[in-house]
Amino acid sequence: MRLELHWIDYLIMIIYFLFVLGIGWFLRKFMKNANAFLEAGRSMPAWVAGLAFISTNLGALEVMGMTGSGMKYGMLTTHFYWIGAIPAMIFLALFMMPFYYGSKARSVPEFLKLRYDEKTRGLNAILFALMTVLASGISMYALAILMENVLGWDFNLSLWISALIVLGYTYLGGLSSAIYNEVLQFFIIVIGLLPLVFLSLKDVGGWFGLKEKLEPVAAANNYAADTFTTTWKYAGEASSNPLGVEWFGILFGLGFVLSFGYWCTNFLIVQRAFAAESKAAARKVPLIGALPKMFIPFLIIVPGIIALVLFNGHNPDFRAGFPVDAAGKPIYDYTIIMLLKQYLPAGVLGLGITALLASFMSGMAGNVSAFNTVWTYDIYQSYIRPRTGNEEADGKHYLKVGRVATVAVILLSIASAYIASKFGNIMDFLQTIFSMINAPLFAVIFLGMFWKRTTGHAAFTGLLAGFLLALLHHGLTVPEGATTLVKGGWIAQLHTYPVEMAQNFWTAIIAFTVSTSFTVGLTFMTKQQKSDTDLKGLVYSLTPRELDDSHLPWFERPVGLAILVGVISIILTIIFW
Amino acid sequence: MVDIRIPIGLMFTIIGVIISVMGLVTNSDAEMYQKSLGINVNLFMGALMLVFGLIMLFFALRKKKT
């Protein structure tokens, strides 16, 4: 499965590297204090922050994972987009952003501190910092191993070079540099993968040719003929679709709990909107991100579905070269790179590989800049060295701390990538555990924003209880055919889910429900420590209404954009029903 | 601070030119383009990137004057 690159391919990669580093180099002189470095001085235009918002999400694990999922589940993978992302992005923009941005909080943990109390912030900040290091290590490992197996690049070399380039531009230019580069990376990812979509579709005879060629594949797996090219049609029962989840799990588990947990509270993502130049711009950021997000399935999922056709008889060479596991099943992570290899000649191939590297870097830089901010403001400034009052000296001091943290987090990510290469199972397990912190976090932030009574003690307990109960659920259930305890059932095996996805969805649903009940219940039992004046700007009912924006054309108003995004995604859902 | 359209425009223009030239030089190489179903995908993508890069530069520079 080796793939040889031409010198032109390397030349394109090198030009890309020079540009990302150059942007960092150019921005270095603007980094005068911590505010510029960690918050981009709150100066980003909406469209820049919006593309960065979606680019951070379009990391290597997303590109590799969603192409692989396309090959595994077919069009059902689009549930992660049209129902599993768009509604949450609209909600974030219209209902949550005014409080996030208006509170002047510099991070999600800091918002928790303002709305609730110190302990809630501390718990969230520490868990978030750990999760971030781990996530960036895992994606580094995933990419380096792919490059080693397919391109023959040395594992250590590609790990260190890609990490050092990210270090270079984030160290120099901080969040601004990460955001500007994410915009560049967004365009490289889209343009680099574009030829793949056209060529692969042409190869199988367009969308209708693809549908026809998938019929025997679906039949061989005992599914209805059009299972792989539809989204909701077979979602009535878990057993009739390859995702193994029925409509309720998709709607509530993915569309509500998982997606709102990720899009509305994950600081990695929302930090891009925090960096916008005004409250109005901040509200538009998630919506501008949602516009390309709706069409990303055509860029990465559709080629994945085509890989399923190629693998099942359409192209014997493709199948012969595809890495498989001991049971003969394809290793789905390789889908994207096997497709690049299949269709792209030297030249555009370099562009495609550069797109993969760009996706890796945008995800990694997102982790780095989010970690820096949380570490410097929520951990270092809160517990190690508080502000002295001399603003200028403080700004310089925390800038230095932010820079040191950049180096530290990248070294820690490299370490965690090596741990992942030795103990992959442990890392998978840790990642599963950390995935359980988002759903309770959403419950707590949501209640805090819309119910002024919610107390700090209740929120803290709700966060912890949701997390622990989710952990317990994971310990008591297993997906069918699990061979390691990493997948669950490490306490006892009380229930078996047909597929892993179903288990994930239910873990999230439980985390959310438990967290909500605890927070609501305890709120009635504890006393609100904060006065209405403290909560002004943080809670819906205590915040004065928005400035009137009805003089603007509809496409410059958040509500107008939200309706546009909503309508397009409904149309897409109906077309591919 | 900086107009991000300038570096994006520059980068796509440069890479666009390189890939287009590559496409022109290898236009008769049928074996190379067998992979891409006989389409000279370098020429297409190179031209597309070049146009995209120039549009970015055009808007960035036009704004600067005003």
Per residue in A537-548, pLDDT tens? Answer: 888 888 777 666
Backbone angles phi, psi at A292, to 5 degrees: -70, -35
Task: Note the pLDDT of residue B60.
Answer: 87
3-state secondary structure of A478: strand
Q: How far is A343 from chain B (nearest CA, A)?
A: 5
A31 inside domain: no
Does the pLDDT of residue B65 top 60, yes or no? no
Considering only the beta carbons, identify the residue of B15, B22, B37 that sits closest to A15. B15
- Say whether A346 and B41 touch across the interface (CB within 8 A): no
Residue at A3 is within a domain: no
Judgement on whether residues A402 and A461 belong to the same structural domain of the protein: no
Give the mutation candidate from B5, B8, B15 for the A interface (greatest A CB count, under 10 A). Answer: B15
Best CA proximity match to B36, nearest among A341, A212, A9: A341
Chain A within 8 Å of B9 (Cβ-Cβ)?
Answer: no
Residue A213: what residue type? K
Question: Kindly report the CA angle at A102 between A100 and A105, in degrees rounded to 5?
Answer: 55
Determine which of B13, B41, B55 to mutate to test the interface with A (most A C-beta atoms within 10 Å): B41
Please name the residues in contact with A402: beta carbons below 8 A apart, sequence gap of 6 or more: A34, A37, A38, A174, A372, A373, A376
Nearest to B8 among A184, A199, A346 (CB): A184
> Which residues, including other chains, have CB under 8 Å from residue B6's CB and lie 6 or more apart?
B56, B57, B60, B61
Q: Which of A358, A402, A409, A63 is nearest to A417 (CA)?
A: A409
Taking CB atoms and an 8 Å limit, are B41 and A15 in contact across chains? no
| Residue A478, beta-bridge partner list | A496
ipTM of the complex: 0.94
- Residue B66 touches chain A, beta carbons under 8 Å: no
At B19, list the tokens: 């890939």
Q: What residue ranges in A445-536 does DSSP mark as E strands?
A: 477-479, 495-497
* Domain, as residue range, for B44: 5-65
Contact A73, A221 (CB under 8 A): no
Q: pLDDT at position A546, please?
A: 65
Helix, strand, or coil here: A533?
A: coil
Q: Are residues A187 and A205 in the same domain?
A: yes
- Provide DSSP, A323-385: -B-TTS-B-GGGHHHHHHHHHPPTTHHHHHHHHHHHHHHHHHHHHHHHHHHIIIIIIIIIIIS
- Which member of B14, B22, B39 has the closest CB to residue A15? B14
pLDDT at A122: 92
The string of DSSP letters for A68-100 reads HHHHHHGGGGGGGTTTTTHHHHHHIIIIIHHHH
Among all chains, which residue has been given the structure tokens 């999230």? A508
Shared-domain flag, residues A405 and A434:
no
Chain A closest CA to B50's CA: distance in Å? 12
| A409 and A486 both lie in a single domain | no
**Distance, CA of A38 to CA of A175 (rounded, Å):** 6
Query: In chain A, what residues touch B63 (CB-CB under 8 Å)?
Result: none
**CA nearest to A249, candidates A232, A272, A264:** A232
Helix/strand/coil (H, E, C) string of A125-193? HHHHHHHHHHHHHHHHHHHHHHHHHHHCCCHHHHHHHHHHHHHHHHHHHHHHHHHHHHHHHHHHHHHHH
Amino acid residing at A67: T
Q: 3-class secondary structure for A11-42?
A: HHHHHHHHHHHHHHHHHHHHCCCHHHHHHHHH
Q: Are residues A437 and A362 in the same domain?
A: no
Same domain, A351 and A482: no
Q: Cα(A103)–Cα(A96) distance, rounded to whole angstroms?
A: 11
Whether residue B35 lies within 8 A of chain A, CB to CB, comes out as yes
pLDDT mean by block of 10 residues, chain A; 577 residues: 80 93 90 86 89 91 89 90 93 90 89 91 91 87 84 87 90 91 93 93 90 86 84 82 83 87 90 90 92 94 92 82 84 89 90 91 90 92 85 88 92 89 73 80 92 91 92 86 75 80 85 93 88 83 72 80 92 91
Q: How many domains does chain A have?
A: 2
Which positions in chain B touch A343 (Cβ < 8 Å)?
35-37
Chain B interface test: which of A184, A204, A351, A354 (most B C-beta within 10 Å): A351
Residues A344, A273, single domain; the answer is yes
**Domain encompassing residue A525:** 423-539
Q: What is the pLDDT of residues A141-153, one digit of tens each?
A: 888 888 888 888 8
d(Cα A181, Cα A365) in Å, to the nearest integer? 9
Q: What is the pLDDT of residue A547?
A: 65
Q: In this structure, is residue A189 part of a structural domain?
A: yes
> What DSSP line would sit under A446-462, residue for residue?
HHHHH-TT--HHHHHHH
Which residue in the set B7, B22, B39 is minimally distant from A347, CB to CB?
A: B22
Under DSSP, the state recorded for A314 is I
Q: How far apart are CA A86 and CA A83, in angstroms?
A: 6
CB A57 within 8 A of CB A269: yes
Kindly state whether residues A116 and A193 are assigned to the same domain: yes
Q: Which residues of B touch A187 (CB under 8 A)?
A: 8, 12, 52
Distance from CA of A180 to the nearest CA of B (A): 6
Both tokens of A228, joined, read 């792989």
Query: Residue A178: closest CA among chain B residues belongs to which residue?
Result: B4
Q: B13 by DSSP, 3-state: which?
A: helix
Nearest CA to A441 out of A35, A67, A68, A123 is that of A123
Dihedral through CA A107, CA A110, CA A111, CA A113, nearest 10? 170
Kindly determine whether residue B7 and residue A23, on different chains, have CB atoms separated by under 8 Å.
yes
Confidence of residue B7 (pLDDT cuts 50, 70, 90): very high
CA A319 to CA A413: how far, in whole Å? 34
d(CA A199, CA A530): 60
Into how many domains does chain B fold? 1
Residues A402 and A477 in one domain: no
Instruction: Clarify whether residues A412 and A432 are in a common domain.
Output: no
Residue type, position A355, single letter: A
Q: A239 in a domain, yes or no?
A: yes
- A406 and A320 part of one domain: yes
- Residue A317: the pLDDT is 82
Distance from CA of A166 to the nearest CA of B (A): 17
Distances in Å between the alpha carbon of A414 and those of A184, A341, A355, A407? 24, 28, 21, 11
pTM as predicted: 0.92
